[in-house]
Amino acid sequence: MVTLKLEVDRGRCTGIGICESFAPDRFEVDDDGTLLVRGGELVGDAEREEIERAVDGCPAAALRLVEGVS
């Protein structure tokens, strides 16, 4: 089965938080600007669109969706 995985490049992420405004259930920036990701790396169909928006919206290009086979 083809699955979609979310990858976060911690070296690039600057905690700007655009991702949180699109997918608040999955992303949250904490008080010191560190990004918290909830719910694991697998991306389900129902949330795919909002996660794509988060990926496109990230000004630091820190998020990626990669296809994998499991």
Partner 1 sequence: MSRRLVIVGASLAGLRAAEGARKAGFDGEVTLIGAEQHLPYDRPPLSKKYLTGDGAADFYRAEADLRAELDLRLSTTATSLHPDEHVVTTSEGNISYDALVIATGAAARSLPGVADSSRVLTLRTLDDADRLRAHIRPGARVVVVGGGFIGAEIASSAQQIGAQATIVEAARVPLVRAVGEMVGETLSQLHARNGVRLLTETSVLDCIETAFVQEIHLSSGEVLPADVVVIGVGAAPATEWLRGSGVELDPIDGGVVCDAFLRTSVPDVYAAGDVAHWPNGLLDVTMRLENWTNAAEQAGRAGANAADPENAVAYETVPYFWSEWYGQRIQFVGTPMADRVEFLEGEREEDRFVALYTTGDRVVGAATLNQPRKIMKLRRLISERGGPAAAQTIIDDGQSAATGATP
Q: Is 29 in the site for ligand SF4 (CB under 6 A)?
A: yes
Minimum distance from residue 20 beta carbon to ligand SF4 (Å):
7
- β-pairing verdict for 2-8 and 63-69: antiparallel
3 forms beta bridges with 68
Residues contacting 68, CB < 8 A, separation 6+: 2, 3, 4, 5
Alpha carbon distance 8, 26 (integer Å): 12
Q: Is 15 in the site for ligand SF4 (CB under 6 A)?
A: yes
Out of ligand SF4, partner 1, none, which partner does residue 63 contact, by CB within 5 to 8 A per kind?
A: ligand SF4
Contacts with partner 1 by CB under 8 A lie at 15-18, 20-21, 24-25, 28-33, 36, 56-57, 59, 61
Q: Which residues bind ligand SF4 (CB under 6 A)?
A: 13-19, 27, 29, 35, 58, 60, 62-63
